[in-house]
Amino acid sequence: MDGLDAAPVPEGERRRVAVIGAGLVGLASALWLARLGHHVTVVDRAPPEPGGSYRQACSYGNACTVAPHGVVPVATPGIAWRVPGMVLNPAGPLAIVWRYLPHLAPWLRAFLAASRPAEVERIAGTLAGLLRHADAAYRPLVEEAGARHLERHAGCLYLYRSDAAFAAAEADNRLRERHGVALERLDAVAIRALEPRLAPLYRRGVLYPDAYTFDSPQVLAVAFAAAIRKRGGAIVRAEVRDLRCEGEGVRVGTDGTALRAERLVIAAGAHSRALVRQLGEDVLLDTERGYHVLFPEAGHLLGRPVCYPEHGFYMTPMADGLRAAGTVELGGLAVPARPVRTRMIRQTVAELLPQAGAPGAEWMGFRPSMPDSLPVVARSARHPAVTYAFGHGHLGLTLAGITGRLVADLVSERPPVLPLATLRHDRFDAWGGKPGPG
Ligand SMILES: Cc1cc2nc3c(=O)[nH]c(=O)nc-3n(C[C@H](O)[C@H](O)[C@H](O)COP(=O)(O)OP(=O)(O)OC[C@H]3O[C@@H](n4cnc5c(N)ncnc54)[C@H](O)[C@@H]3O)c2cc1C
């Protein structure tokens, strides 16, 4: 079990814990807390239910991939030169909505600072530490939820159209290797043997053999919710409107009945900043919007997630078909989805996988993203009863299990299984700088 399963806390230390957010991070946190004996209530405006809509959660629409190779942060050296292109080309894999730029300035400043080589090394080290435990921390939850059948273990494939593109990606792969990520470099013949239905638009590729997928993140979320209920926890459908710390506990005001809890976990994904502010703190959380297009008839065409990094999205075989999911758009929570983004995905899939057939449902969702690609897993500095768990960016599905395990440690006031100093919410100031000492 990799030493990650935990004994329940003694009777007298079990708390009534409210968890805001039934995305995978909130659910995994609640399930770990329930396993330790706490009494949990998860509050979400649209929690996962069989047959219900879960599309508002980022956990609904992702590329379904547990990605141990995800040690490379989004901002890497040279990204600053790409910013003008991001603003000018709304169809690019990384785009910025120009009218959102003024709001984005502090986040962007910190994002660019995170791309310095020394920072990339530091961030990769922290991500690697989390990723190393990601699977072991999922195992007990997936077993308990009876969700093993959702897993497909076939690795994940990155492809490059030219030798030059492959060579340019070598710096990332060496970084991965330094952090113990297993990978196999492939030539065109080996790629064709793995994925014979892809158009032969590749020269080289890399297989990450330890990556795996869940057939449906929504079904996984429904299974986690059922497991929480089975342990006596509650899942409440309500919109959280206001938060107040009262005495040693917290009052959670909703559009329905207010709730009182001894401990609170904020795991509201990209919407967490507004809740943190209600408690008199702040966090430099924004969103990297992502999109998906489903190809309902194409689920059988690929054996594993396939990604051309130059296009910025995965093509993942999953329960509903082939989901082409990814890209980054910095545009905040209020700007409507931009059709140009899914058009680019549709056109590119038609080129890469000509048999994909007609596209079906489209989706846009909000990755909860910190500028340095690291999540926030921390206790509030002002209110010891409150724990923060959000900001997982591109890795929320992957890191939900280990985050839940760490949240359970924090709430139980046990030493966390991993060091958390680099995951504090107040590691950036409001202008995107780093707060000075003292
Ligand atoms: C296109 C795309 C592809 C991706 N692919 C992958 C991948 O392959 N692998 C991977 O690891 N990650 C991937 N990700 C990232 C991953 O999906 C996210 O990091 C993760 O889902 C975040 O989970 P969360 O629980 O923090 O937030 P969410 O899933 O967004 O959940 C937050 C929940 O909080 C609720 N909420 C918010 N505010 C309130 C309120 N005031 N009151 C009540 N409820 C509230 C919302 O309703 C929501 O259900 C991808 C993301 C995108 C967009």
pLDDT in tens, 277-307: 999 999 999 999 999 999 999 999 999 999 9
pLDDT of residue 421 exceeding 90:
yes
**Residue pair 118/80 in contact by the 8 Å Cβ criterion:** no
Cβ of residue 305 lying under 6 Å from some atom of ligand 1: no
pLDDT in tens, 323-344: 999 999 999 999 999 999 999 9
Degrees, nearest 5: CA angle 353-354-356: 70
pLDDT of residue 436 exceeding 80:
no
**Residue pair 63/313 in contact by the 8 Å Cβ criterion:** yes
pLDDT of amino acid 248: 87
Centroid of ligand 1 to alpha carbon of 273 (angstroms): 14
Domain 14-423 has CATH 3.50.50.60: yes
**Residue pair 281/327 in contact by the 8 Å Cβ criterion:** no
Strand partners for 291: 326, 364
Distance CA 55, CA 363 (A): 8
- CA distances, 369 to each of 239, 267, 308, 389 (Å): 22, 13, 22, 12
Cβ of residue 173 lying under 6 Å from some atom of ligand 1: no
Centroid of ligand 1 to alpha carbon of 45 (angstroms): 13
- Listing from the earlier edge strand, what are the strands of the sheet with 151-152? 65-66, 212-214, 151-152
Take atom 22 of ligand 1 and give the residue whose Cα is closest: 396
Take atom 41 of ligand 1 and give the residue whose Cα is closest: 240
Average pLDDT for 102-126: 96
Strand partners for 185: 206
Phi, psi of 220 (to 5 degrees): -60, -45
Closest among 283, 285, 288 to 330, alpha carbons compared = 288
Cβ of residue 93 lying under 6 Å from some atom of ligand 1: no
Listed as own residue / partner, the contacts of 431-434 with beta carbons closer than 8 Å and 24 or more positions apart are 431/106, 431/109, 432/105, 432/106, 432/107, 432/108, 432/109, 432/110, 432/111, 432/113, 432/284, 432/371, 433/109, 433/110
Confidence of residue 5 (pLDDT cuts 50, 70, 90): confident
Cβ of residue 285 lying under 6 Å from some atom of ligand 1: no
Distance CA 321, CA 42 (A): 30
What's the number of CA atoms in the CB half-sphere (13 Å) around residue 205?
A: 26
pLDDT of amino acid 51: 87
pLDDT of amino acid 3: 64
pLDDT of residue 438 exceeding 60:
no
**Ligand 1 nearest-atom number relative to CA 21:** 34
3-state helix, strand, coil in the chain (%, to 5): 35, 25, 40
* 62, 279, 311, best to mutate for ligand 1 pocket (most atoms within 8 Å of CB): 62
Centroid of ligand 1 to alpha carbon of 303 (angstroms): 25
Residue 402 token pair: 């280990």
Centroid of ligand 1 to alpha carbon of 162 (angstroms): 34
Centroid of ligand 1 to alpha carbon of 375 (angstroms): 12
Share of the chain above pLDDT 90, in %: 93
Sequence ranges of the domains in the chain = 14-423
Cβ of residue 269 lying under 6 Å from some atom of ligand 1: yes
Centroid of ligand 1 to alpha carbon of 156 (angstroms): 21
Take atom 50 of ligand 1 and give the residue whose Cα is closest: 62
- CA distances, 179 to each of 124, 129, 183, 372 (Å): 8, 9, 11, 18
Average pLDDT, the chain: 96
Collapsing DSSP states into helix, strand and coil, what is residue 36?
coil
Listed as own residue / partner, the contacts of 380-385 with beta carbons closer than 8 Å and 24 or more positions apart are 380/276, 380/279, 380/281, 380/425, 381/281, 381/425, 381/426, 382/245, 382/279, 382/280, 382/281, 383/245, 383/250, 383/279, 385/245, 385/248, 385/249, 385/250, 385/262, 385/263, 385/264
Concatenating the DSSP letter of every residue in 47-71 gives ---TTS--TTSHHHHS--EE-TTTT
Confidence of residue 88 (pLDDT cuts 50, 70, 90): confident
pLDDT of amino acid 437: 60
pLDDT of amino acid 434: 86
**Residue pair 363/244 in contact by the 8 Å Cβ criterion:** no
Distance CA 325, CA 130 (A): 23
pLDDT of amino acid 297: 97
* 43, 58, 235, best to mutate for ligand 1 pocket (most atoms within 8 Å of CB): 58
pLDDT of residue 1 exceeding 50:
no
Burial class (CB in 10 A: 0-12, 13-18, 19+), 99: exposed
Average pLDDT for 64-70: 98
Take atom 19 of ligand 1 and give the residue whose Cα is closest: 396
Collapsing DSSP states into helix, strand and coil, what is residue 396?
helix
Interacting residues of 339 by C-beta distance below 8 A, sequence separation 6+: none
Confidence of residue 398 (pLDDT cuts 50, 70, 90): very high
Strand partners for 389: 377
**Ligand 1 nearest-atom number relative to CA 363:** 1
Share of the chain above pLDDT 70, in %: 99
pLDDT of residue 321 exceeding 50:
yes
Centroid of ligand 1 to alpha carbon of 373 (angstroms): 15
Q: Which of 18-27, 241-250, 372-381 shows the lowest per-residue confidence on average (mean pLDDT)?
A: 241-250
Distance CA 10, CA 110 (A): 42
Alpha-helical runs (H) found in 2-116: 24-35, 58-61, 83-88, 101-113
Average pLDDT for 9-34: 97
Phi, psi of 289 (to 5 degrees): -70, 140
Residue carrying structure tokens 């995800």 = 70
